[in-house]
Amino acid sequence: MTFVVTDNCIKCKYTDCVEVCPVDCFYEGPNFLVIHPDECIDCALCEPECPAVAIFSEDEVPAEMQEFIQLNVELAEIWPNITEKKDSMPDAEEFDRVINKSVGPKLKDLER
Ligand code: SF4
Ligand code: F3S
């Protein structure tokens, strides 16, 4: 079992999650983070720390966000590790809770 970063991290990147992870298994892309599923020890510390409610246990990822399970797998292999909290993205408050940021024309924002 692993935890998964989902849609609402996009364009927010608050990074509170990074600070509490005991095994440093977060990886940073241009506009959101992912968790490496093979490194996550399922401690659940990060889930309540995310102000954007973007982190779910793998078995609790909402139906409309299932694609993020595989995205975390793939992107954790190519994005760099992040181990320290940093400033959130400039428009984080504006984009927090915007639904389906990864869908439609904004798919390019994933920059895979
Ligand atoms: Fe890190 Fe624990 Fe969150 Fe997994 S569940 S990403 S080990 S803080
Ligand atoms: Fe993203 Fe939430 Fe972490 S917005 S960077 S998953 S604290």
- Phi, psi angle pair for 57, to nearest 5°: -60, 145
Q: Report the pLDDT value the prediction gives residue 110, as an integer from 0 to 100.
A: 47
- Overall number of domains in the chain: 1
Q: Which domain holds residue 36?
A: 1-53+65-84
112 vs 79 pLDDT, higher one: 79
110 lines ligand 1 (CB under 6 A): no
Q: Is residue 25 part of a domain?
A: yes
Percent of the chain whose predicted confidence (pLDDT) is above 90: 80
Q: Give me ligand 2 centre to Cα 85, in Å.
A: 10
Domain assignment present for residue 32? The answer is yes
Structural domain contains residue 23: yes
CATH number (domain holding residue 7): 3.30.70.20
Contact 4, 27 (CB under 8 A): no
21 within domain boundaries: yes
Asked if the structure places residue 1 within a domain, the reply is yes
pLDDT, mean of residues 17-32: 97
User: Quick one: pLDDT at residue 108?
Assistant: 43
Which residue's CA lies nearest to atom 3 of ligand 1? 46
Over its C-alpha atoms, the chain yields an Rg (Å, rounded) of 12
Residue 28 lies in a domain: yes
Q: Does any ligand 1 atom lie closer than 6 A to the CB of residue 1?
A: no
Which of 3, 4, 9 for mutating ligand 2's site (highest number of atoms within 8 Å of CB)? 9
For residue range 59-83, what is the model confidence (pLDDT) as tens digits?
999 998 999 999 999 999 999 999 9
Output the pTM of the full model: 0.90
For residues 2-24, one letter each, b for 16 or more C-beta atoms within 10 angstroms of the residue's C-beta and e for the rest, the string is bbbbbbbbbbbbbbebbeebeee
Is 108 a domain residue?
no
Judge if the beta carbon of residue 3 lies within 6 A of ligand 1.
yes
| Residue 51 scores a pLDDT above 60 | yes
- Residue 59 included in any domain: no
Among protein residues, the one with the nearest Cα to ligand 1's atom 8 is 21
What average pLDDT does range 1-18 have in this prediction? 96
In this predicted structure, what is the pLDDT of residue 102?
A: 73
